[in-house]
Structure 1
């Protein structure tokens, strides 16, 4: 079915519901973007394949809103004759709806895939035009989509203590002790990352993110886990004598009175509860109190998790070194292209490694102008062969039983131009600036982002994404609430967190450069030091010396590069052998 035909079909359903617009978010029933094929509703309607955005379908006009990572990609993938492309921010969405809808219009939405907080914001932003929002009992896109729900069943397993470090009983006791002061208080959580961490559960065979698709209610006497039993197999679970009860998520409403027996107050995060579930608690006349950012608990890794993250990155670095050496050895091979390298990035990780579970996200492999598309995905239509020479960007990661990785290397294929070397070195200077920073708890995500971004803006460039994100432990490679972003005024920084450091420069239709390592946040033991927080790099793969312009570096930066390459040799060479060792020694020699 063509795009315009799909939209026409959707509009027919909209008219039958008496609505003038329909909201289509990039979210599932757990309010995240870890989507199954039948949940990729924006792609179905617009052909946009990115992982963040929201689509508005009106009776006359349509618009998709994407963030800075996807503006170039959206313009390529979306037919702007049918769907207008705009940059994502909430006020621009409100302005578009006001401009394209009449007073007293009604907007329809699926209450299971929009948070309560989001719906309230839309209502408040549109009330001056008397535009209202109407929750619908079914998803309109699903009615016209030919996709059938993915029936693959994922086995849920216990994440062993040797990987997670702490028993789930202890975590539950800590959460109850901190937040539930009386026996009539309960916690509702729709964040499957938090639930997977809390109960030490994983779906190892689940693609990219091994978190368990579940919601939970925690009371003083029991922890209720709600699962879709058509998608998951909880039979493998044995919680011993612990009061853990597994329930059918499709019977949540019918079961709620039982789980809330004796509970007068429910704690929840209005930003992370769907409009649907929030109203279920309202129907019980429950006292509702705000409990934001439970996920901060899993962001702070314990010693076992930290050791696992470091080991995962060492194993991952060994695989990346083999990949880079293979590419550099085949730059004239006419059969090597972006798709081949994407597959190879998984093969080198998987080879002889029983602890490797799979990629942590779809690999980004782009040559020349494709590398300027921040979240590019190689396809038959866009695929490039590396013998054409230029700049190659590889952003990939892995899930291991004991940790999660994410690393980006930009390398020269052939002889780089002066501009390529200049922009690579500027990006590297920004990366080093953040890696070297010492700071305290008064710093926000915006403050840290500026450390790297200012280096690049001084040379007249910028980048349309944050400088860093949190990384989970055998969970999502993009972990919140902590981030290093110009949009983040929060101060979520504590010892044991893991962040990416990934500044970049992108010249549309030419080439893009990004350098990314993961960093462990550590704290000085000397309590008299005011700036007591600092980062330790835990990713290990060579930087491309062919792209470094030494004249642009100061002595501190040169020392950092040389010392980093010493650590790469120390960590990686014992893991590998053959010609790759000679190549690593050569490419990591002093500059």
Structure 2
């Protein structure tokens, strides 16, 4: 099938001699979550997930996305003329492989140069060179068809005070310069890295306290490119006091051509257009050095993050109490539940906003890992079945992300079995002791093993880094089957979130955030462990105690004691009674 938008787009492509259009999910900074102004892929396909790539030719309209979104994407694109291509799935080629097969020799592949990363450009160029395919930067072919496109945001930024950051911008710049070594500077595009380095936050992307900005740091200078309308005189003085020069956001384009020397750029975060504009520099490809600097919390950040978690999980407990009382009344749906949780959380100290749209998923909506309830899809919560809530908040003192799955009635044997398996997977990773030098890739199997023993798998990573008053999904560390060589270091935060997702039945995920800590050193061997930051009860009605080992049961009871000790002082008497019952010894 086709649609009026696809028909018009194909007419434009034909008129310009373009054989295929490549549309990633991206903004000029390669942010994971993109602001409304840059959601061109969603505009084109109808798919609203955070990851995906569309390709349109005269004969095909295809969307590639990963296992988190297969179910959601199928539903959202079915009336938009697109077919789903399942990433990392047998029988489905990657985007690049498909283009290698289907692009005509000497053909033209168009893309938006300001939103395609240099890394993506290099991959496409290498793959398509043998066929003589021309890569054409064109930021108007699709964008010109987007009527009523949202404007770029103009929200004010705010300074992240020293009591929350724990380190001045001048000190961070000094550490960055040390990390650059003999390089002559770096050009930075990553919004979360720039916000951390210069100790400010913004509101340009929903749920992500960032602002559109670029930065150039050399041994002698630091330039922050940020729209003047977004900051006040106090902000300007703070930057000046820390040795920072402020310039308009768009000035980076005129300055780029005069930057010389050996300059570090992250090809995964730098757009093809900006990379080309740095025409006089000797560009050195490397991940932005700030990733490693900010991945390990300092003492101030860790203390704030721990307090923030207590604030956030207290709100979650209050929500679970409300949910248990409200569902039998029969007028609570997924949207109303999500709104209630946000309302309870918003009363917390130093709250800014939710860290993502709450995944409020009941029954057969929960197998969609990143489901978002809408008025059209929102299901009524009934006193039966499973309800999954994946939620988090942004606070001045940290960022949270937690998932609990609860029974709304009398659980079935299958629900108990699946929940207990996921709990065992979570505990297996939570209790890991590992040698320094290990990456999350080595640990991923620990969470999957209890599920693999039952021939069950989940099509996502097991854990992601969490930013500090920043993106809820951040690098560089992660726990996943996909290889990565980032060593887990003390002070790094990472999630633990295995799951079971049965399409058409239920979805179960149990997620906490942990911080890497020193364990013991034996000779030259340095061992590390995980320390939990998240405190909320697991649903004891869904736990088959007979299926837990002695070690697993001991961990669970100790965890629930910690939940009580940390949260009871923050609750009223009725809430304390509820929590004490939910965390009683098993």
Hey, what's the Cα distance between the residues in 2 that align with 1:520 and 1:212? Answer: 27
Q: What's the TM-score, normalizing by structure 1?
A: 0.94
**Within 5 A, what are the aligned runs for 1:284-323?**
284=280, 286-294=281-289, 295-323=291-319
> Which among 272, 276, 283 is matched to residue 275 of structure 1?
272
> Which among 385, 389, 414 is matched to residue 390 of structure 1?
385
**Within 5 A, what are the aligned runs for 1:306-385?**
306-351=302-347, 353-385=348-380
- 2:119/2:267 contact within 8 Å kept: yes
Hey, what's the Cα distance between the residues in 1 that align with 2:41 and 2:460? Answer: 21
Shift of 1:441: 2.9
CA change 1:170–1:553 in 2 (3 A) is same
**Within 5 A, what are the aligned runs for 1:400-439?**
400-439=395-434
- 1:154/1:233 contact within 8 Å kept: no
Single out whichever of 474-483 and 81-90 deviates more from structure 2.
Answer: 81-90
Q: Tell me which residue corresponds to 1:37.
A: 36
Q: Tell me which residue corresponds to 1:399.
A: 394
Unaligned 5+ segments in structure 2 are none
- 1:205-263 Cα shifts (integer Å, max 9, x gaps): 86311023211110122211112456x335441224333122222232223356x3xx4
Residue 233 of structure 1 pairs with residue 231 of structure 2: yes
Q: Tell me which residue corresponds to 2:488.
A: 493
- 1:205/1:357 contact within 8 Å kept: no
Shift of 1:99: 3.4
Hey, what's the Cα distance between the residues in 2 that align with 1:532 and 1:519? Answer: 16
Secondary structure of the residue that 1:399 maps to in structure 2?
strand
- 1:112/1:276 contact within 8 Å kept: yes
- 1:438/1:531 contact within 8 Å kept: no
Residue 503 of structure 1 pairs with residue 505 of structure 2: no
Secondary structure of the residue that 1:163 maps to in structure 2?
helix
CA change 1:270–1:460 in 2 (3 A) is same
- 1:404-453 Cα shifts (integer Å, max 9, x gaps): 00000000000010000000000000000000000023323221111101
Shift of 1:101: 2.6
Q: Tell me which residue corresponds to 2:255.
A: 255
Hey, what's the Cα distance between the residues in 2 that align with 1:215 and 1:88? Answer: 32
Q: Tell me which residue corresponds to 1:121.
A: 123
Q: Tell me which residue corresponds to 1:210.
A: 209
- 1:542/1:587 contact within 8 Å kept: yes
Single out whichever of 436-445 and 159-168 deviates more from structure 2.
Answer: 436-445
Q: Tell me which residue corresponds to 1:552.
A: 547
CA change 1:55–1:168 in 2 (3 A) is same
Q: Tell me which residue corresponds to 1:48.
A: 47
Hey, what's the Cα distance between the residues in 2 that align with 1:528 and 1:150? Answer: 59
Residue 519 of structure 1 pairs with residue 514 of structure 2: yes
Q: Tell me which residue corresponds to 2:189.
A: 190
Shift of 1:94: 2.0
Hey, what's the Cα distance between the residues in 2 that align with 1:121 and 1:58? Answer: 20
- 1:469-524 Cα shifts (integer Å, max 9, x gaps): 00011000101011101113313310000000000000001101000000011013
- 1:61/1:100 contact within 8 Å kept: no
- 1:497/1:520 contact within 8 Å kept: yes
- 1:156/1:236 contact within 8 Å kept: no
Q: What's the TM-score, normalizing by structure 2?
A: 0.95
Secondary structure of the residue that 1:329 maps to in structure 2?
helix
Secondary structure of the residue that 2:268 maps to in structure 1?
helix
Q: Tell me which residue corresponds to 2:176.
A: 175
Secondary structure of the residue that 1:271 maps to in structure 2?
coil
- 1:431/1:503 contact within 8 Å kept: yes
> Which among 111, 134, 137 is matched to residue 135 of structure 1?
137
Shift of 1:126: 1.9
- 1:331/1:414 contact within 8 Å kept: no
- 2:333/2:381 contact within 8 Å kept: yes
Hey, what's the Cα distance between the residues in 2 that align with 1:269 and 1:36? Answer: 21
Shift of 1:381: 2.0
Hey, what's the Cα distance between the residues in 1 that align with 2:61 and 2:227? Answer: 33
Hey, what's the Cα distance between the residues in 2 that align with 1:19 and 1:561? Answer: 59
Q: Tell me which residue corresponds to 1:266.
A: 263
Q: How many pairs align?
A: 580
Hey, what's the Cα distance between the residues in 1 that align with 2:323 and 2:150? Answer: 39
Hey, what's the Cα distance between the residues in 2 that align with 1:436 and 1:67? Answer: 29
- 1:163-206 Cα shifts (integer Å, max 9, x gaps): 01111101101111221437xx1111111111111111111686
Q: What is the RMSD computed on CA atoms of the aligned residues?
A: 1.9
- 1:36/1:150 contact within 8 Å kept: no
Hey, what's the Cα distance between the residues in 2 that align with 1:529 and 1:560? Answer: 29
CA change 1:124–1:508 in 2 (3 A) is same
CA change 1:370–1:457 in 2 (3 A) is same
- 1:7-38 Cα shifts (integer Å, max 9, x gaps): 12222222233211111111111111332223
Secondary structure of the residue that 1:246 maps to in structure 2?
strand
Q: Tell me which residue corresponds to 1:92.
A: 94
CA change 1:531–1:254 in 2 (3 A) is closer
- 1:381-415 Cα shifts (integer Å, max 9, x gaps): 22111125200000000011111000000000000
> Which among 453, 459, 463 is matched to residue 458 of structure 2?
463
Q: Tell me which residue corresponds to 2:112.
A: 110
Secondary structure of the residue that 1:331 maps to in structure 2?
helix
Secondary structure of the residue that 2:459 maps to in structure 1?
coil
Shift of 1:80: 6.8
